[in-house]
Structure 1
Amino acid sequence: MNVILSATLAANEDIVRRRRAGLRVLNLAFGEAGLPVHPALRNRLSEASGNNGYGEVAGSAALRESAAGYWGRRGLPTDPDLVVSGPGSKPLLFGLLLALGGDVVLPMPSWVSYAAQAEIVGVRAILLPPPPGEGGVPDPDLLAPAVSEARSRGRDVRSVLVTLPDNPTGRLARPETVRRLAVLARELDLIIISDEIYRDLVHDPSAVFASPAEFAPERTVITTGLSKSLALGGWRTGSARLPGAALRDRLLALASEIWSTPPAPVQHAAAYAFAEPAELVRRVADSRRLHGIMARAVAERFIRAGACVEPPQGGFYLYPEISSFSSSTELATELIEKHGVAVLPGTAFGDRPRVSRIRVATSLLYGESAEQRLAALHADDPVRLPWIDASLRHLDEALEGLGRCGGGRSGGGMPSEKPAATRR
């Protein structure tokens, strides 16, 4: 097993070291929501700070009921007894891979921790690209052949994992793609793990969001958390919606040996957040608007520089390609070493080594202080704020002359080829 420090966390620590050395670095590598905690949530955390006892492994009844209501308001009636909460959606995903066992199908590219967690668990990942122009979902046209071929060689493929909307591409899979994948999962007897932590940050509030739980509820697990929509990354809280008691019981048995119980004060605040009071609904809406404005502003700069990039649809990511470079590592190294712009190479997300795509996170552009970030959140045109304008000019300078989009394509699109399945 060759597991190293997570690429996102390693990049963030490297940026801290560079800044301590007096270097100017534009942090486009770390996917933190970049906004202050809402005062109502700070108050809820404070009032529960004396709760220092162990609680239920699955989380408090209040939190599970609140999370069930959250999903119910999104058209997914949920039994609170089938909700499991934990210290972040990341350990919940790890626990699910342990509970399910068997190999897992992942989109290529996909979030850095999916394949790493599979390796730690001792299962293998089958990486399949998404349909052209989409992200976060393995192409349904490739799923059945890849699973059948793997099983013919004795591999035990049990699950497929999707991200809606996606990290790293910022794209949202079409409802028809999600439906087709859910139908195939039933035919292939696969459990679907649907990571929907960015669901509430789809930039267009009128966009149609489809969860695989709508089409295959009996085999879909949904994970979510508050680290993105409400910028609570450091509080470590997440919840999973399970399709049945058997998987829930296996997950709880593992959780009891890994994290014991979610932290009690954070559960109290999370229960309030999942209930979606009006002030937090407004905060999420304001955040969604800001993330969309900034992601589009950064995408426009890459397009002007000749990059191929699909317009971001959710979260705070984009995934541009500048194919005048021989690899994503070369491109990322050039940006940080020569221009002080930190991004992550596509290889960190399972992409092919000779493809020069990078993951760009835009959510730390909002400012260095809480005051600046709140000003960005409420500004009519945050791009014009002096500190954001300065960061975008830094990016423009770095991108100038990096190269054009290859293969005769003009900026604004990603390559449409469908590479063969990659296996780890």
Structure 2
Amino acid sequence: MLRTDPEGHGPVRYGPSALPDDGLPVLPELSAALARATARSGERPIGGDTALLDAACGYWLRRGLPTRPRQVAAAPGAPSLLLALTAALGGDVLVPRPCSAWWAPYARLLGRPVFPVATPAECGGVPDPYALLETVRRVRAEGGDPRLLVLSVADDPTATVAPPEVLHEAVEAAAGEGLHLVSDETWRDTVHDPHGTVLLSPAEMLPERVTVVTDLAGAFLPAGWPAALVRFPAGVTGDALHARVLDVLTALDARIADPVAAAAAYALDEPDAVTERLTASVRLHARVAHAVHTTLAAAGVLVRPPQAGRHLYADLGPLRSGLAGRGVRDAQDLEDFLTARLEQPAPGGHRFGDDLGALRVRLSTAEFLGRTDEEREECLLSPTPLELPHVQRALLSLKSVFDALRDDAQRWESPR
């Protein structure tokens, strides 16, 4: 199919895929916080007002990262922050393969080369240190200027959490090459087993060279209320980067809408209503993710056990022979096929920087919670959400599709 040629899709290639939504009705207390601010007519300053920045500092302090307001800025979504950071830092950009769908397009819009780096076997989101060193060496040998590495400890799309030792090796390799790190921590508050999973921020390991970005759509706000934060390193380097980023945000007029900023400040203070909803939401999505993982693995699909977020990343390579019989030969074909069969979005791996020829997709757990707010609210409140009829139907539909693909692949296998 001619559309599989990536060069035919413009400088941003296939375009970013949306963050996986939680699929749940908006928390009433959050709606009330937003509504209280709708009557305000003044403009919020670029980078966020005092209430929002103070709330952000408290949020990071509770996670072991002492932060002052002058180290923080806010913007309407993480993409505008990454665009500003890339413009401010200059040079070439390195990303793990696969990576969040929104990372690379913003570098390409600035005309910055983006170089993918293989990830270790244990997880996605961070580069293999040896592959990183080799990529940096090659890029420099070809006249490039690598300056920025973007990584994610709790990862989209792979839903894995990088073990501390793996992260430490990657951070050490990046530091040795003089790279600045941007740590996307959008999903850090959605770890499925917070007591059994150790999550460290690179900013704890290399505070002077790590800038942290978090999109509040990951854990705290609906995706339609765009708000994100950036935490700069302390000191002269961080202050200079902060100033340059604010210059870019000012040029873009990238300010958060006043009601959204008020809701974000409320959420970041983490009152009981917010933390209880987040805990319940994470628990629900973890249960669904485990059930989906079990179904996919039983069908012969390669998929790491999900550890964070509201998604899974599935490799249907073992089913390639059966898929070929259905006209599926690359990730775009697979996206089209599964979106139609599952009646839910199934973005292909090519949207996350993976090879177009690899048969990989990201699946969202929100799609299994029901079609209406009432069904999804029922999932949130139920002690046994997987036993609800509408959830069972969705999981059985998934099983039917993937069992059929497994059977097709087995029929096409060569006799032994």
Q: Do they superpose with TM above 0.5?
A: yes
> Is it true that 1:349 corresponds to 2:352 in the alignment?
yes
Once residues 408 and 351 of structure 2 are traced to their aligned partners in structure 1, the CA distance between those partners, rounded to angstroms, is 21
Distance 1:365 1:190, change over 3 A: same
Once residues 389 and 339 of structure 1 are traced to their aligned partners in structure 2, the CA distance between those partners, rounded to angstroms, is 14
TM-superposed deviation, 1:404: 7.6
Q: How does 1:68-87 map to 2 (within 5 A)?
A: 68-87=57-76
**Aligned residue in 1 for 2:326:** none
> Is it true that 1:167 corresponds to 2:156 in the alignment?
yes
- Which runs of no fewer than 5 residues in structure 1 stay unpaired? 10-29, 407-424
Q: Give secondary structure in 1 for the equivalent of 2:198.
A: coil
**Aligned residue in 2 for 1:222:** 212
Instruction: Tell me, yes or no, if the aligned pair for 2:221 and 2:264 is still in contact at 8 Å.
Output: no
TM-superposed deviation, 1:335: 2.4
> Is it true that 1:308 corresponds to 2:297 in the alignment?
no
Aligned counterpart for 1:319 among listed residues 309, 313, 333: 313
> Is it true that 1:286 corresponds to 2:283 in the alignment?
no
Q: What amino acid maps onto 1:250 in structure 2?
A: R
TM-score (norm 2): 0.89
Instruction: Tell me, yes or no, if the aligned pair for 2:344 and 2:367 is still in contact at 8 Å.
Output: no
Distance 1:4 1:347, change over 3 A: closer
Once residues 89 and 186 of structure 2 are traced to their aligned partners in structure 1, the CA distance between those partners, rounded to angstroms, is 20
Once residues 103 and 117 of structure 1 are traced to their aligned partners in structure 2, the CA distance between those partners, rounded to angstroms, is 12
**Aligned residue in 2 for 1:142:** 131
Instruction: Tell me, yes or no, if the aligned pair for 2:157 and 2:311 is still in contact at 8 Å.
Output: yes
**Aligned residue in 2 for 1:120:** 109
Once residues 225 and 95 of structure 1 are traced to their aligned partners in structure 2, the CA distance between those partners, rounded to angstroms, is 15
Instruction: Tell me, yes or no, if the aligned pair for 1:170 and 1:319 is still in contact at 8 Å.
Output: yes
Instruction: Tell me, yes or no, if the aligned pair for 1:36 and 1:231 is still in contact at 8 Å.
Output: no
Once residues 330 and 87 of structure 1 are traced to their aligned partners in structure 2, the CA distance between those partners, rounded to angstroms, is 33
Instruction: Tell me, yes or no, if the aligned pair for 2:147 and 2:180 is still in contact at 8 Å.
Output: yes
Distance 1:385 1:292, change over 3 A: same
Instruction: Tell me, yes or no, if the aligned pair for 1:103 and 1:156 is still in contact at 8 Å.
Output: yes
**Aligned residue in 1 for 2:393:** 390
TM-superposed deviation, 1:372: 1.7
Q: Give secondary structure in 1 for the equivalent of 2:285.
A: helix
With 341-350 and 327-336 compared, the bigger mean Cα shift is at 327-336
Q: Give secondary structure in 2 for the equivalent of 1:132.
A: coil
> Is it true that 1:100 corresponds to 2:103 in the alignment?
no
**Aligned residue in 2 for 1:67:** 56
TM-superposed deviation, 1:341: 5.0
Once residues 407 and 117 of structure 2 are traced to their aligned partners in structure 1, the CA distance between those partners, rounded to angstroms, is 27
Q: Give secondary structure in 2 for the equivalent of 1:239.
A: strand
Instruction: Tell me, yes or no, if the aligned pair for 1:136 and 1:173 is still in contact at 8 Å.
Output: yes
Aligned counterpart for 1:213 among listed residues 192, 203, 214: 203
| Alignment RMSD | 1.9
Higher relative contact order (CA 8 A, sep 6+): 1
> Is it true that 1:264 corresponds to 2:258 in the alignment?
yes
TM-superposed deviation, 1:100: 1.3
Distance 1:89 1:336, change over 3 A: closer
Aligned counterpart for 2:225 among listed residues 235, 240, 255: 235
Aligned counterpart for 1:202 among listed residues 191, 207, 213: 191
Aligned counterpart for 1:365 among listed residues 354, 363, 368: 368
- Which runs of no fewer than 5 residues in structure 2 stay unpaired? 1-9, 321-328, 410-416
Q: Give secondary structure in 2 for the equivalent of 1:235.
A: coil
Distance 1:5 1:170, change over 3 A: same
